[in-house]
Amino acid sequence: MPPVPPVPPLDRNASTRFSEDEDSGWPTGEPNGPEPTEGAHGSGPSEGEEGRLREELCEAMAAIHQRGWCDGTGGNFSCVLKREPLLLLMAPSGVDKGRVQPQELIVVDRDSQVSRGSGRASAETLLHLAIVNETGAGAVLHTHSQAGTLLSQWSWERAVRSAPAARTLKPEAEALEEGHGAKGLHKMAGSRSPQAEAGAFEEAGGEASGEASGEDGEKAGGEDGVAYLEVRNLEMLKGIAGITTHLGEVLVPVLANDQDLTRLSRRAVPHLGRAPAGLLIAGHGLYAWGQGLSEARRHLEILEFLLEQRWRQLLLEALVEQGLGSAPANLGQRS
């Protein structure tokens, strides 16, 4: 089955474009919605517009929290408040995202520094900024759902295992001398850190002549240490902007987790333009984005649905392989 064409980049200056598919009802674009920042370069939003955006972001965070996608103090969520100079409106770090009030949101500048409000910005603000700068997104939503955490780790580990056996990790001192930093961390007690896995996978990708493919819908390859989670032939794919058919596949990029957010953001940049409005970080979660908050929220809900479908499909396939699902006619019958 041929892959779905790459999702077109977001158009920051797009006018209202609704062209709904008669079956799915999903719009192919989004109106210049609640975000007052679309096309704003100098003056920024009015006080009333900013107030509405604060309320809508808090409402979105509460709904996402209610679905169990950002338990504890997990997740982070942002909207573009102003383009030039770039300002993000977001929740402060270390708070329950389901209970944040509009006045508690902070404003963060392009250097990830808090310019207004109390509290500190999340270290992951750097990745939000990278996504906004590379895609023109007006909102970025990051979740820690069970499905996103599970499948991102599964995809990455399978990709590393399927890479060429020639991959090796250099001793830490040698790696540091060559400027690899944490990418060159050596094995410790027979295990690898995510950073070490990323380094090994990058080295393997550089040596490989083609793309390594794992089983069950994950793909690996390339010189930049990226895996892909494949989702195909589902009607809900059409909820992603730019996709108009259920036939085909999308490949969600998966990167190794890294506590160095500068390095992680740099690794993410080459994959953002072709990503289906979403990116997975292994063992961590999902980033989804859109032209504005409503489109980002739709993309998040669609991608989380697709992730749920993927792990349920894997479970069903495993049951069938074990012979546990080979007699559906018996289901519900008394023994």
Residue 159 CB: number of other CB atoms within 10 A?
A: 28
Protein fold of 47-163+208-322: L-fuculose-1-phosphate Aldolase (3.40.225)
Determine contact, residues 118/136, Cβ cutoff 8 Å.
Answer: no
**Helices in 91-193 by DSSP H: which ranges?**
125-135, 146-162, 172-177
Query: Across 111-225, where does the E strand assignment appear?
Result: 114-116, 139-143, 212-213, 218-221
pLDDT per residue rounded down to tens, the chain (335 residues): 545 445 444 544 433 232 333 344 444 444 434 444 443 445 678 888 999 999 999 999 999 999 999 999 999 999 999 999 999 999 999 999 999 999 999 999 999 999 999 999 999 999 999 999 999 999 999 999 999 999 999 999 999 888 764 343 233 333 333 333 333 222 222 333 344 344 434 433 332 223 344 444 555 443 358 999 999 999 999 999 999 999 988 999 999 999 999 999 999 999 999 999 999 999 999 999 999 999 999 999 999 999 999 999 999 988 888 876 554 443 333 43
The predicted structure's pLDDT at residue 167: 41
The predicted structure's pLDDT at residue 267: 96
Order of all β-strands in the sheet with 226-232? 114-116, 106-109, 87-90, 76-82, 139-143, 285-290, 278-281, 249-255, 226-232, 218-221, 212-213
The predicted structure's pLDDT at residue 198: 44
The predicted structure's pLDDT at residue 219: 53
Sign of the dihedral through C-alpha 142, 144, 147, 153: positive
Q: Which pTM does this prediction carry?
A: 0.72
Helix (H) or strand (E) holding 227: strand 226-232
Cα within 13 Å of Cα(95), Cβ side: 22
Domain residue ranges in the chain: 47-163+208-322, 164-207
3-class SS at 261? helix
C-alpha angle 253-256-258 in degrees, rounded to nearest 5? 130
**284 token code pair:** 């961590």
The predicted structure's pLDDT at residue 326: 55
